[in-house]
Amino acid sequence: MDGHHPGLAKPGPGKRPGQGGYAEKRGKYRLIFENAPLGFLHFDSEGRITACNDRFVDSLGSSREKLIGLNMLDLPDQQIVSALRDAISGKHGFFNGWYHAVTAENVIRARVFFAPLTDENGIIHGGMGIVEDTTEHERMAEEKARLEEQYRQAQKVESIGRLAGGVAHDFNNLLSPILGYAEMLASDPGAGDTRQKFAEEILYAGSRARDLVRKLLAFGRKQSMEYVPVDMNHAVSNFEKLLRRTIREDMTLELSLSPDIPMVKADIGQIEQVIMNLAINAVDAMPNGGRLTIETAAADLDDTYTAARPDIRPDRHLMLAVSDTGFGMDEETRTLLFEPFFSTKGEQGTGLGLSTVYGIVKQHGGSIWADSEPDAGTAMKIFLPAADDCTAAEDNTRQDTEGSFSEGSETLLLAEDDPQVRELAHAVLTRQGYTVLASENGDIAMKVMAQHEGPVHLLLTDVVMPEINGRELFAKIAKKHPGLKVLYISGYTADVVVNRGIPEKGAAFLQKPFSIKDLTAKVREVLDRETDQNADS
């Protein structure tokens, strides 16, 4: 700075510089100018900067040499130029907004006040500018608004989760006998074609009701998950055949699978649900055909990415992307994308597809975001935490459930407080050759066990029951029968199951409502396991 501040202070009439304390006043004004907490600048009547303080220089990230002599009337921002012209013409000017410095790379949010400087005769000698850098305040306000929106979204998710969880148990108990008996009737060759068709319609309607509950639970992050080590490339490749049946003839499916990706801990069935939902959305977004791409890659998320996502830690992740070449989305649609019951498909959509995806991804500790512009396609990118310290399960893909029900000849102890579910399980398992000792609660189950003279091979118990829950029941019986195996069943949501029943990690569990195939297959699977799998119970 040249040390001269024209217009900052002038001697009064009849006084020369140095007289009457003028030099002292000028020095004080200079100190105020230089040390003010705001940016100060002086400009002449042609708009050229003649003086500025350090705060102004620092805000722009520039230098005094570049700023002194700069004609602000030549700035590209016409709002600032207009405010400056007001000051030069004798009025006050004001600017409030984002400003891109022409002498540096800084972009700041600023409030600028321009005022004319006149002498004792009212002649304008340029003006004064006061610049308040509000960039940090603006960013804090944006961050506050973002966090408030996240909090509102979290509250919405929690409310829906509680609603879904509240009805899930009773609803699942009702669906179990509906689906079970319909399945038995549909598979009975003596029922006749008409009754079998009726049974199949009941099965179809019941399955849709079951899926609706699962979608609500998924969005509310209340589903029971069975996490296993998953090689995502293997999972996608095994799912490719089904995906190709999903797309139309005017579409192509491309897999871009990176060979160097981390393992993840995931529920393979839920991951397949995510891929399928995203693929269906992609197909719907390409009414005139196009390309569907499934991509995997390793991703190291840094602090920049995770700063806007407080539930995600900066670390190594797996990236799973589903992309299309469809009509894309505008910003408003992207904002509402994961809202429950929001749909771009009108009456044809439930609005739960992407909400389900969102809930599943969040329950896996991951994040999801959409990269999309109108007429430019959409890329849905999912990031799941890496689990490099594990190896893939021998078979983590969907199994073919076609075929007959699993059979056996062992003795089972059944503890279930819902009479319809208890009678269904008893009828199904008895028909498959098992001896079933049924009881309506834990206390009766222990009495039945004590009175039974032969061996009991498996305890099939509801998790949450009055008086004594499933875990407590198994713990008490297993003390006298250490070789007893256990299979837990429940219609409650995952958090209730964890908090009130299911014990050790890896315990055998079957979620209601279950099909006959699921029940018989799971019973057979647990019976065939090594006897030490429940030893720590």
Residue boundaries of the structural domains of the chain = 22-133, 139-219, 232-385, 411-534
CATH of 22-133, one of 1.10.1200.10, 3.40.50.300, 3.30.450.20, 3.40.50.1820: 3.30.450.20
Encoded amino acid at 195, one letter: R
Under the banding of pLDDT at 50, 70 and 90, the label for residue 487 is very high
Scored b (16 or more CB within 10 A) or e, 276-312 reads bbbbebbbbbbeeebbbbbbbbebebeeebbeeeeeb
Please state which CATH class domain 411-534 belongs to: alpha beta
Which residue in 104, 52, 365 sits closest to 221, CA to CA? 365
What is the reported pTM?
0.47
- pLDDT score for 495: 54
514 Cβ neighbours under 8 A, 6+ residues apart: 176, 179, 180, 489, 522
* Residue 276 confidence (pLDDT): 86
Average pLDDT estimate for 65-93: 91
Lowest mean pLDDT among 129-138, 369-378, 382-391: 382-391
Q: What is the pLDDT of residues 274-297, one digit of tens each?
A: 898 899 889 988 988 999 999 999
Residue 166 — very low, low, confident or very high, per pLDDT cuts 50/70/90?
low
Compare 87 and 338 and report the one with higher pLDDT: 87
CATH superfamily, domain 232-385, is Histidine kinase-like ATPase, C-terminal domain (3.30.565.10)
Q: Is residue 301 over pLDDT 80?
A: no
- Lowest average pLDDT, out of 353-362, 436-445, 455-464, goes to 353-362
Tens of pLDDT, residue by residue over 409-452, are 899 999 998 888 899 899 999 989 999 999 999 999 999 999 99
What was the pLDDT predicted at 46? 92
Residue 224, pLDDT score: 62
Residue 397 has a pLDDT of 42
Encoding tokens for residue 50? 């003649």
Q: Percent of the chain, pLDDT > 70?
A: 78
* pLDDT tier at 507, thresholds 50, 70, 90: confident
Does residue 533 surpass a pLDDT of 90?
A: no
Place of tokens 């984002």: 98
pLDDT at 12 over 70: no
Query: Mean pLDDT highest for which of 136-140, 461-465, 522-526?
Result: 522-526
Only one residue has tokens 């075929």, namely: 403
| Tokens (6 digits) for 517 | 């195939």
Range with the poorest average pLDDT among 85-99, 159-173, 252-266: 159-173
- How would residue 95 be classed by pLDDT, with cut points 50, 70 and 90? very high
Average pLDDT over the chain reads: 80
Q: Say how far apart CA 397 and CA 232 lie, in whole Å.
A: 10
In angstroms, rounded to a whole number, what is the distance separating the alpha carbons of residues 341 and 334?
14
Residues 6+ apart with CB under 8 A from 434: 408, 409, 410, 411, 412, 523
Q: Which residue has the tokens 């000017």?
A: 93
Encoded tokens for 424? 């269904």
- Low-confidence winner among 11-15, 137-141, 397-401 (lowest mean pLDDT): 397-401
Residue with tokens 């639970």: 217
The number of C-alpha atoms within 13 Å of 521 and in the hemisphere containing its C-beta is: 13
Structure confidence at residue 420 (pLDDT): 87
Residue 321 has pLDDT above 90, yes or no: yes
Closest CA to 173 of 423, 371, 390, 481: 423
Give me the pLDDT at residue 341, please. 55
116-125, 214-223, 317-326, range with the lowest pLDDT = 214-223
